[in-house]
């Protein structure tokens, strides 16, 4: 029997109230990497059901589906896991040249929430996390691991990381949350 | 750590996200088979290696993934400006203007920075 391997399944780091920080593995979602000519982005948005953002870092969310632009011609699309086949079919009918790759099993999501979320992330991310606008995302490095960082709310961040790096990122977050809890 | 402005992301990003990709504005010969061995060697290996202002390529590897060009001083390591790949080499005035506005921006951000 095949079993899905999820390195962080059900894991949480609950800081005490003083630590103002809670970290948990996110629900699994369907993820797609989309490469398409920016001029054709509107038709791709129509196929996805959510318009694609037009600025790097921009994110559009509607009906549980999100589209985040990572590069000039690159988007990452996420949706509830059950929508996966429907999205693949919708893009198969799209006439524009494009590449849609299902990367749902490549990555895992980590939610970092709380007042100290930016402080925790700052320990391993080299740019100014606090200056990041709400509702934007970008690809960056967390320590040495490449991640996609999304700021969902002022105090809620989502990390999307390749599953092989997930334990590494989780370990750092665990250590950092202990330091914050102890007030170091 | 250096902060490098990516002209595609339009944001300052840490140096670790980038990789260096050699000198910029080196056009591949239109008809390589017509070149002599010496000309081909010059195209492949001979670079200006200046002391001072250098036009170079960088790639925002762990970000948008795009190649772009930068003007950097090889002595001070300061970036005067960055610009998109495919655009012509900026002139002296343009570089002075861009580095002056970048300096004003960083001075303003230092002033606004919290203690």
Calculate how close chain A gets to B37, using CA atoms only, in Å. 38
Domains and CATH numbers, chain B: 3-28+37-112 (3.30.2270.10)
Tokens 């198969």 appear where? Answer: A92
Q: Which residues does A contribute to its contact with B (CB < 8 Å)?
A: 56-57, 70-72, 74, 126-127, 138-141, 146
The predicted-structure confidence for A19-53, as pLDDT tens digits, reads as follows: 688 898 988 899 999 999 999 999 999 999 999 99
3-state secondary structure of A121: helix
C-alpha to C-alpha distance for A115 and A135, rounded to whole angstroms: 17
Of B15, B16, B63, the CB nearest to A138: B63
What is the pLDDT tens value at each position of chain B, 115 positions in all?
889 999 999 999 999 999 999 999 999 999 999 999 999 999 999 999 999 999 999 999 999 999 999 999 999 999 999 999 999 999 999 999 988 887 777 665 555 444 4
- Structure letter (DSSP) for residue A44: H
Residue A58 near residue A11, CB atoms below 8 Å: no
CA-based diameter of chain B, in Å? Answer: 63
Q: Which ranges in A21-162 belong to alpha helices (H)?
A: 41-48, 84-92, 117-122
Is residue A77 packed enough to be buried (19+ CB in 10 Å), middle (13-18) or exposed (0-12)? buried
CB contact under 8 A, B16 and A141: yes
Residue A176 near residue A162, CB atoms below 8 Å: no
pTM: 0.87
Domains and CATH numbers, chain A: 12-27+106-181 (3.30.1360.120), 29-102 (3.30.70.1520)
Nearest CA in chain B to A138: B63
Report ipTM (2 d.p.): 0.85
- Chain B residues within 8 A of A138 when measuring between CB atoms: 9, 11, 63
């Amino acid at each position: 029997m095949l079993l899905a391997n999820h390195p962080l399944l059900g894991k949480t780091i609950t800081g005490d109230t003083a630590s103002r920080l809670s970290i948990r593995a996110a629900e699994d979602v369907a993820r797609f990497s989309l490469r398409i000519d920016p001029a054709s982005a509107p038709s791709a948005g129509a196929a996805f059901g959510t318009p694609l953002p037009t600025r790097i870092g921009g994110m559009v969310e509607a009906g549980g589906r999100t589209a985040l632009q990572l590069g000039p011609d690159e988007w990452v699309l996420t949706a509830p896991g059950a929508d996966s086949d429907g999205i693949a079919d919708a893009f198969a009918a799209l006439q524009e040249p494009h590449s849609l790759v299902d990367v749902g099993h490549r990555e895992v999501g980590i939610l970092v929430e709380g007042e100290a979320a930016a402080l925790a992330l700052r320990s391993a991310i080299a740019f100014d996390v606090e200056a990041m606008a709400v509702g934007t995302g970008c690809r960056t490095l967390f320590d040495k691991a490449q991640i996609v960082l999304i700021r969902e709310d002022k105090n809620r961040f989502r990390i999307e990381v390749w599953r092989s790096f997930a334990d590494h990122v989780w370990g750092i977050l665990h250590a950092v949350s202990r330091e914050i809890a102890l007030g170091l | 750590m250096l902060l490098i402005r990516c002209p595609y992301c339009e944001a300052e990003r840490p140096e670790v996200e980038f990789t260096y990709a050699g000198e910029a504005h080196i056009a591949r010969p239109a008809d390589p088979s017509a070149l002599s061995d010496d000309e081909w060697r010059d195209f492949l290996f001979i670079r200006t290696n200046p002391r001072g202002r250098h036009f170079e390529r960088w790639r925002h590897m762990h970000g948008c993934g795009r190649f772009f060009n930068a003007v950097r001083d090889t002595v001070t390591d300061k970036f005067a400006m960055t610009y998109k790949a495919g655009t012509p080499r900026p002139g002296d005035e343009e570089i002075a203007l861009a580095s002056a506005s970048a300096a004003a921006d960083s001075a303003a951000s230092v002033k606004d920075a919290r203690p």
